[in-house]
Each structure stands twice: as C-alpha cells, then as structure tokens.
Amino acid sequence: MEIKTVNECIKFRLLRKIKPDLEKTRKSLELSDNRVKKCETIIKLEIYDLSIVEAYLGMFHAARGLLYKEGMQEKSHYAVYIYLKEKHSNKIPLHILNFLNIHRIQRHEAMYGFEFNPTKEDAERALEDARIFIKEIKKVIHG
C-alpha cells in the first residue's frame, strides 16, 4: 500500500500532531542554513556524494521547521514531502516542492547505493535546488 495523504501518514504514525513549537522552527532553520554552508564547503573539497547529503538535509530541516510551526512532527522523510505537497502546493510551486523528494532519493542513493557517483554538476544542482527550496519554505514560515 502506498501512502499518499497526510491523513494516511498520521494513521500509520509517519506524522503526528504536536503543539506548534516556534523554538524548534527557529532551530530547524538554523540547522538548514548550516547544512547549506557545509554543502558549499564540501563541493570545494570535491566530495560530491556528501554534498548531495548536506544539500538534502538543508532542505529537510527547513521543511521540518515549517512542520514544527504548524504543529506537526515527522517520523518519516517521505511524509514531510507528502505534507508539504498536500498543505502548501498552493503557496510553493510543485516543481520546487519536488526538489525535496528528488534529493531525498539522491541522498538515499549517495548513502546506501552502489552505483550513484555524483558529479560536480549534480552537487551544484543540489545546492542550487536547496537554496531555492529553503527560500520558499522561509517565505511560508515568515508569512
């Protein structure tokens, strides 16, 4: 069974409702910015698989910050994407929301796969996508 909605994510405990937490939102955005800075440094060191991971984590932590603001706790990276797609596709263009899922899959391949060998271009694309994604998430968080 493929989980496709926020209600299904909640039902299967991939997301859970919590009290909105602006301090966790702030800390998540801080983590997001730090991951992007690390990604920039790692690209210069030509460690492209790790740069993919850092770019994705920058996006993930920004998205997580939005969930904390809205009273939601993630228990699954994929559920974060489902939540954003369902709740925020009217504010954030779908192609930008899809960056999270695209790079979630790349991160998985970079960490666990046998055949994905990211190039400098892959790393730079991930970094640029992260910057765009995070900017959009911050717009929603800050109104």
pLDDT, tens digit (0-9, with 9 covering 90-100), for 43-95: 999 999 999 999 999 999 999 999 999 999 999 999 999 999 999 999 999 99
Angstrom CA distances, 138 to 14, 30, 116, stand at 23, 11, 31
Neighbours of 102 (CB within 10 A): 16
Domain residue extents for the chain: 6-142
Residue type, 78: Y
Task: Evaluate if residue 126 carries a pLDDT over 80.
Answer: yes
Task: Give yes or no for residue 134 having a pLDDT over 90.
Answer: yes
Q: Positive or negative, the Cα torsion across 103, 20, 27, 16?
A: negative
Amino acid identity, position 74: E
What whole-number percentage of the chain has pLDDT above 90? 97
In 12-47, which residue ranges form alpha helices assigned H by DSSP? 22-44
pLDDT of amino acid 1: 72
Q: Which pLDDT score is estimated for 129?
A: 98
Mean pLDDT of 6-21: 97
Span 6-142: which CATH code? 1.20.120.330
pTM: 0.96
